Amino acid sequence: MSEWWDGLDSILKVLYCIAVPSSLILIIQTIISLCGIGDGGSGIEVSDTSGLDMGDIPDDLPDMSADVDTDISDMSDGGNPADVGALRLFTLQTVIAFLTVFSWVSIISYGGGTPAFAAMLIGAAFGAAAMFGVAKIMSLSKKLSESGTIELKNALGEHGTVYLTIPPAGSGEGKVTLTIQGRFMELPAVQDGREPLKTGASVRIIDLRGDTLVIEKED
């Protein structure tokens, strides 16, 4: 082994020093992904404030959710070259993929007699293609996982049925059943009316208060 290593020139030694560690990391990442451990460093969801103490928020603030309905993840599917940023090219996975492909392709090209500079250009081209491919796969995987996530805002305007009696405003909450995104669900609900809504009453969802539906009785 030492004789083989000593027989390599400095360029191949550098390339092997990149290829071996990056390949091992790539294998570990693949195993972790297949085992479903974590999300592989896909990032932090900055919109999640469930762990923050936001203080007391007045109930009379205007509801902006009905006026602004912009989902950044739906602005691009990465198919347009101008939307490359949406693919998140520079993540741990994509960088490791680039280094792995770049180094091995460069080693093969250089070992086959290609000049060093040309070999590294070829390796960089293949590495960039691998980087883009991994970013695209990650983007598609994220969209597939998000497509099954229930968004309560999709309940606005929908009709439901009271499952557990909903007391008058300020007296607690009950439950309603309704269909959201093709799924039949049972969700907590409150109302602003002064009369309780009995089980079986038909209602319409008019607002959201956190994870609780605000409903009104249908005429």
- Shared domain for 211 and 127, answered yes or no, is no
Would you say the pTM of this structure is higher than 0.75?
no
Question: Which residues of the chain fall below pLDDT 50?
Answer: 39-86
In tens, the pLDDT along 60-83 reads 444 433 343 434 334 344 444 434
- Shared domain for 33 and 91, answered yes or no, is yes
* Any domain includes 50: no
Q: Which of 138-147's residues contact partners 24+ apart within 8 Å by CB, and which partners?
A: 138/42, 138/87, 138/88, 138/91, 138/93, 138/94, 139/77, 139/78, 139/86, 139/87, 139/88, 142/42, 142/73, 143/73, 143/77, 146/73
Tally the C-alpha atoms within 13 A of residue 183's C-alpha that lie toward its C-beta: 12
Domain range for 179: 152-217
* Any domain includes 212: yes
- Domain count of the chain? 2
